[in-house]
Homo-oligomer: A and B are copies of this chain.
Amino acid sequence: MTKLNRQWRLVRLVEGMPSLDDWRLEDRPAPEPEPGSFLARALFLDVAPYMRARIAPVRNYAPGVRPGEVMIGGAVARIVASRAPGWKEGDLVVTDFGFGWQEYALLRPEAVRRVDPALGPPEAFLDVLGLNGATAWFALFETGALRPGDRVLISAAAGSVGQLAGQLARIAGAVPFAVASTSAKLAWCRELGFEGGIAHRETPDLANALRALVPEGVDLFFDNTAGPIHDAVLQNLAPRARVVLVGTVSLADRLGRPDIGPRFFREILVARARIEGFLVLDFEKRWPEAWARLADLLRSGRIRTRYDVLDGLERMPEAFLRVLRGENLGKQLVRLAS
């Protein structure tokens, strides 16, 4: 009996802020497994800022989605039919990009990892035990070269990567500071061990607020947003500061258009600062290193993580816009009826 597969297909490439009608929901028959593949049904669909650049008409580090195609995305899913030896109905798997915004996907074993319930709940495999955990880990400890005592500023600090980065910085002997949109989010960051922070939507002069918060200057800036927060930090660098460009979510409404604003060449030169672009895919071979440590920290309760879950496939575009507008608190996910 053929199952019905609802899926979100991209309508158009998007230059400004995406809107709900940039995708359309379609019904297709779910495919049948071929030899060596299995059909899986999503439990949780991932919702993440990287998806923004995949639908922009500009060069990116990876190919984009074309109009008419199913929107890209990862998922935690359960196998419902299998013709792949060793993978059986009921097994849980996670895939980072290869699922798509849909209920069912045909997958091959090399495109997924097993979900081991002993390590954490299924949704953690789209968060601390997935790409975001690896991002926080390698951006801090490799590209960022974090050292004990570093004053670490983290933007989008109440998001999935931000909340982890703050806790990891603290565990590693550094002093994390948060920038988040609202004081409700800051309260969560403080609970997680951030030293303090700035609610940027409630703060007219970010550069001065940051000077008051970290008078010694920022040693390591974990930049999840670009934009005005970046500009404020560049005016408050400690000597030899490191700036890791992890994400650019504040540019969600202008990809493909010029981003005009202040530049800080003298500040970079005077501080002898280093600004470096970070891409978690570059560390793919080493992700398991990070996950092993993160699973230990998660099990022992030394790191905590919050999820912001909407229910129902039909809410995917809405969930995605929440992330682009910074309305989520914790890792944004969409849960599918089981």
Interface residues on A, range: 35 or more
Q: Are A272 and B265 in contact (CB under 8 A)?
A: no
A261 adjacent to chain B (CB < 8 Å): yes
* Main SS at interface, chain A: mixed
Among the listed B246, B265, B276, which residue makes an inter-chain contact with A230, where contact means beta carbons less than 8 Å apart?
B265
CB pair A260–B259 under 8 Å, yes or no, is: no
Q: How far is the CB of A132 from chain B (nearest CB, A)?
A: 16
Residues of B within 8 A of A271 (CB): 277
Question: Closest residue to A265 on the B side, CB-wise?
Answer: B226
**B residues in contact with A246, CB < 8 Å:** 269
Contact B268 A263 (CB under 8 A): no
Interface residues of A in 253-278 (CB under 8 A from B): 255, 258-266, 268-278
Q: Is the CB of B272 within 8 A of A274?
A: no
List residues of chain B with CB within 8 A of the CB of A61.
269-270, 272
Q: Are A259 and B248 in contact (CB under 8 A)?
A: no
- Hey, what's the 0/1 contact readout for A220-245 against B, CB within 8 Å counting as 1? 00000010001000000000000001
- For A58, A251, A264, A276, the residue with the greatest tally of chain B CB atoms inside 10 Å of its CB is A276
What 8 A-B pairs are tightest by C-beta distance, nearest first? A269-B277, A226-B265, A275-B275, A274-B276, A268-B277, A272-B277, A259-B263, A61-B270
